């Protein structure tokens, strides 16, 4: 019994300290990315909107000559690094991925931040283990958990989701399980990342919702919104795969990001609202109902712009585009059923967002919790229903692993996600 207490005491002390430090690092990285995107966005306003993504594509192409691993959404690299023994994320990716993401999104490329944040946060682990004397205290398994903790701190901070961020970085590693040995340090790091972010940047929830409490009569509408968002997510994943296949066969890979930027720029001429992350547009959809025709155009525009931005090599994630697609789906149902009030409309949008996130990323638990933390507990019912429905529709699909740049063995990523191999076997 004494040995058990000694082991638990040593384990808890070690990971309380280490996970806290990693969370602080992840939180600072999230602040750096946020400010970097804002700075580059200010520069991009001096250019015509349609040309900005092309310039961004050219700039990241130059950056990739220094570190080609900074291309793409990054989630594949995180999954591979954590699951494959002795394959840590290089420390320089902290800088290359941050700069590439700031350029891609700042110059109006369409995408999100979760993939870059996973890589940026996870690469902090390589920096920690390179410190003199520290590496002796960490085995291979510890280094793996360090990467998870760094990613958790960054995700919890950037999404202002202290609990959901920790769950997300663990749940995304495998398709249908959560490993508690990974989860507890990740949740601590995610919380610390959120605290650090709150001290420096804006700590309010990502979205503001009307004062509304759903009732049982709303449930059928929530179900329809969840199904609609799940189907829209399947469409997104299908187009994303086809676009990825197109770029894999296309020659002149060094200019792929510029080609993706050109297509995105053309779309922005007609639909400027699909530029960058589009979180402001999501808030507008929470606040009011859009015309159905506009919603359909926004849906197709966001799907195509994100697919071309990311699969061409632009550095951006897929979570916020998934939230955008879900918001469009929920707003579509609100417009179709007529005047149900601002509160019900917002609930339908949140249902769609949760469904799309759970469908695209296969993270039903994290999706529900993150949406609740993003908007508030009052909409916990639609968020939960949406995540369950979205996961049911999309769980057979694996979007992470469809791109295959250079030496990263993404077929293994797809197998980890499909087969849910226990981490002890890696």
Q: 222 and 126, same structural domain? A: no
Q: Which of 175, 203, 231 is the last residue of a domain?
A: 203
Q: Which of 179, 203, 227 is the last residue of a domain?
A: 203
Q: 100 and 186, same structural domain? A: yes
pTM here is 0.91
Q: 73 and 166, same structural domain? A: yes
Range of the domain at 289: 216-394
**Radius of gyration of the CA atoms of the chain, in A:** 20
Q: 90 and 11, same structural domain? A: yes
Q: 227 and 146, same structural domain? A: no
* CA distances (Å), origin 227, targets 13, 92, 233, 369, 378: 45, 41, 10, 19, 21
Is 92 exposed, middle or buried, given 0-12, 13-18 or 19+ CB atoms closer than 10 A?
middle
pLDDT tens readout for residues 265-298:
999 999 999 999 999 999 999 999 999 999 999 9
User: Any idea what the CATH number is for the domain that residue 171 is in?
Assistant: 1.10.3080.10
Q: Tell me, what's the pLDDT at 132?
A: 65
Q: 180 and 220, same structural domain? A: no
- Packing angle, helices 364-375 and 164-171, rounded to 10: 160
Q: 159 and 132, same structural domain? A: yes
* Of 99 and 376, more confident: 99
Alpha-carbon gap, residue 275 to 158, rounded angstroms:
19
Would you say residue 376 lies in a domain?
yes
Q: 198 and 229, same structural domain? A: no
Would you say residue 420 lies in a domain?
no
Q: What angle do CA 153, 15, 75 make, to 5 degrees?
A: 35
Ranges 3-12, 57-66, 172-181: which has the least confidence: 3-12
Residues 14-37, mean pLDDT to the nearest whole number:
90
Would you say residue 47 lies in a domain?
yes
Would you say residue 421 lies in a domain?
no
Would you say residue 21 lies in a domain?
yes
Q: Which of 203, 230, 247 is the last residue of a domain?
A: 203
DSSP reduced 3-state for 310: helix
Would you say residue 417 lies in a domain?
no
Q: 186 and 314, same structural domain? A: no
Mean pLDDT, the chain, rounded, equals: 87
Q: Tell me, what's the pLDDT at 214?
A: 77
DSSP state of 112: B
Res 404 pLDDT > 50: no
Q: Tell me, what's the pLDDT at 131?
A: 66
180-187 — which CB contacts under 8 Å span 24+ positions? Answer: 181/145, 182/145, 182/148, 182/423, 184/15, 185/15, 185/18, 185/19, 185/145, 185/148, 185/149, 185/152, 186/19, 186/148, 186/149, 186/151, 186/152, 187/152, 187/162, 187/163
Q: 227 and 286, same structural domain? A: yes
pLDDT tens readout for residues 136-174:
666 777 778 889 999 999 999 999 999 999 999 999 987
Res 409 pLDDT > 50: no
Q: 167 and 291, same structural domain? A: no
Q: 238 and 143, same structural domain? A: no
pLDDT tens readout for residues 192-250:
999 999 999 877 788 988 877 777 788 999 999 999 999 999 999 999 999 999 998 99
Would you say residue 315 lies in a domain?
yes
pLDDT band at 416 (very low <50, low <70, confident <90, very high): low
Q: Tell me, what's the pLDDT at 337?
A: 86
Res 300 pLDDT > 80: yes
Res 73 pLDDT > 90: no
Residues 327-339, mean pLDDT to the nearest whole number:
91
Nearest to 142 by CA among 7, 18, 21: 18
Would you say residue 188 lies in a domain?
yes
Res 421 pLDDT > 60: no
The total number of structural domains that make up the chain: 2
């Amino acid at each position: 019994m004494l040995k058990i207490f000694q082991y638990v005491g040593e384990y808890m002390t070690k990971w309380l300290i280490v996970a806290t430090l990693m969370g602080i690092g992840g939180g600072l990285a999230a602040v750096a990315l946020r400010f970097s995107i804002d700075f580059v966005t200010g520069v991009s306003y001096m250019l015509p909107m349609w040309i900005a993504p092309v310039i961004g594509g050219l700039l990241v192409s130059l950056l990739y000559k220094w570190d080609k691993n900074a291309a793409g959404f990054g989630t594949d690299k995180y999954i591979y690094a954590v699951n494959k023994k002795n394959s840590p994320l290089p420390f320089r990716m902290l800088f290359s991925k941050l700069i590439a993401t700031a350029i891609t999104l700042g110059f109006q490329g369409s995408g999100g931040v979760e993939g870059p944040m996973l890589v940026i946060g996870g690469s902090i682990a390589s920096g920690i283990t390179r410190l003199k004397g520290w590496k002796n205290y960490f085995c291979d398994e510890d280094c793996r958990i360090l990467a998870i903790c760094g990613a958790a701190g960054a995700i919890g901070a950037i999404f202002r989701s202290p609990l959901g961020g920790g769950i997300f970085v663990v749940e995304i590693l495998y398709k249908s399980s959560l490993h508690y040995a990974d989860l507890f340090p990740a949740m601590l790091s995610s919380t610390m990342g959120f605290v650090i972010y709150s001290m420096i940047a804006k700590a309010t929830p990502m979205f503001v919702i009307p004062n509304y409490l759903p009732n049982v009569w709303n449930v059928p509408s929530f179900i329809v919104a969840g199904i609609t968002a799940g189907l829209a997510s399947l469409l997104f994943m299908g187009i994303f795969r086809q676009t990825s296949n197109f770029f894999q066969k296309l020659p002149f890979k060094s200019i792929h990001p510029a080609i993706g930027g050109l297509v995105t720029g053309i779309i922005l001429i007609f639909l400027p609202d699909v530029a960058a992350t589009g979180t402001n547009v999501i808030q507008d959809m929470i606040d009011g109902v859009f015309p159905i025709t506009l919603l359909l155009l926004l849906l197709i525009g966001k799907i195509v712009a994100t697919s071309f931005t990311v699969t061409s090599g632009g550095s951006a994630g897929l979570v916020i585009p998934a939230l955008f697609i879900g918001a469009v789906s929920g707003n579509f149902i609100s417009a179709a059923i007529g005047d149900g009030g601002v509160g019900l409309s917002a609930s339908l949008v949140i249902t769609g967002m949760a469904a799309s996130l759970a469908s695209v990323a296969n993270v039903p638990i994290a999706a529900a919790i993150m949406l609740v933390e993003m908007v508030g507990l009052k909409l916990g019912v639609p968020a939960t229903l949406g995540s369950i429905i979205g996961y049911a529709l999309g769980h057979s699909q694996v979007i992470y692993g469809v791109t295959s740049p250079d030496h990263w063995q993404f077929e293994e990523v797809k197998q980890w996600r499909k087969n849910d191999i226990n981490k002890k076997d890696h």
